[in-house]
Amino acid sequence: MKDLSSLKKLSHFPVMVNEVLKVCEIEKGGQYIDCTYGAGGYTNAILSYPNTRVIALDRDPFIKQFVSETEKKYKDRFKFFNIKFSEINKVVDKDSKVDFIIFDLGVSLMQILNLKRGFSFNSHSEVDMRMGNNSISASDVLNKFDIKTLNKIFKIFGDEKDSLRIAKNIVLERKKNPIKTVPQLVSIIKKSKKRDFKKKINLSTKTFQALRIFVNNEISELIEGLIKAAELLKAGGKIVVVSFHSTEDKIVKFFFRNYSKNRSRPSRYYPDFNEEENLFEDYKNKVIKPGKYELNLNNPSRSAKLRFVVRNDKTFFYPKKLKKKFSKYLDLEGENV
């Protein structure tokens, strides 16, 4: 097993926290929602400024240990809810006048380093991969779904070119023994893939990523979370998203660009075109990346991308085109029940 001790030191390293604070003009204070509390890196950085208040969410019950200290320290300015961000409207109502809603997407290093949870291919435990508040585990997926669906999961969410071979070998293997542990899955992947010595990433990376996204409905969560964020923000408020995965970034970019005042139009005479149909101020399509200092300290942050958008004063309407555009992902995740 690989030595993970060097990573442990970084488990509280919040990615691009200074950039997030800058985008939010933190000195002005305001009401924040931190949709992905994790180890509380963003929330504590925000609360260290006066005149800020934070409502924080995280779906993972394991992170409660990182919440109590913040609760003690910032009694009147901080509230935590152990829920998914797709349910944000259950704890924040439309009149709450939120200034900033922040998403730092994906899995945390703490979740990866807890080898019992099976997120890492270095684990020897069960392939579970549930972040929390969900019903089926990765092991359920491996043992219950047919070849066609497994193939689609690995291909669509992992961009895994050997998806079909992996899916077929999973189904062959589980006829002999149910697939319960990470080493069982890793050995099936190794058997199914040709070793490519030029490739820098581990043979299992893409399959593990795909399973995790599917098990946790990560694409549906993101789309639902973004839509609810647009509904809860006050005019002039900002949605800020840090993502690591190209599909997530595509979704964020599409939403910000196509629902902003300056969105590009197919044609002036486009029949559905409605001048009023926007939710955001002009979107500049600006991507912010980690600086050199952060990259030196925390190399895994290299694939992070920060995007933000400003809510305008138009009444909220449901952005149907967003769901339609990404229906391929939503339909596949819909099979996860």
Residues binding ligand SAM (CB under 6 A): 14, 35-36, 38-42, 57-60, 63, 84-85, 104, 106, 108, 131, 221
Measured CA to CA, the distance from residue 168 to residue 151 in angstroms comes to 8
- Min dist CB 196 to ligand SAM, Å, is 29
Of 39 and 185, the one with the shorter C-beta distance to ligand SAM is 39
Q: Which is nearer to ligand SAM, 21 or 164 (CB)?
A: 21
**Rg of the Cα trace of the chain?**
21
Structure tokens at 21: 């604070």
Distance of alpha carbon 171 from alpha carbon 173, whole angstroms: 6
Q: Which residues are registered as beta bridge partners of 84?
A: none
Task: Give least dist CB 84 to ligand SAM, A.
Answer: 4
Q: How far is the CB of 115 from ligand SAM (least distance, A)?
A: 16
Report the residue number, 66 or 283, with the smaller CB distance to ligand SAM.
66
**Closer Cβ to ligand SAM, 40 or 319, answer by number:** 40
| Rounded Cα gap, residues 218 and 47, in angstroms | 28
DSSP state of 273: -
Report the nearest approach of ligand SAM to the CB of residue 266 (Å).
33
Q: Region of 255 please: left (phi>0), alpha (psi -120 to 50) or beta.
A: alpha
Smallest distance, Å, CB 152 to ligand SAM?
Answer: 22
Q: What are phi and psi of 91, to 5 degrees?
A: -115, -10
CA 278, 309, 319, 216: dihedral to nearest 10 degrees? 180
Query: Is the CB of 165 or the CB of 212 nearer to ligand SAM?
Result: 212
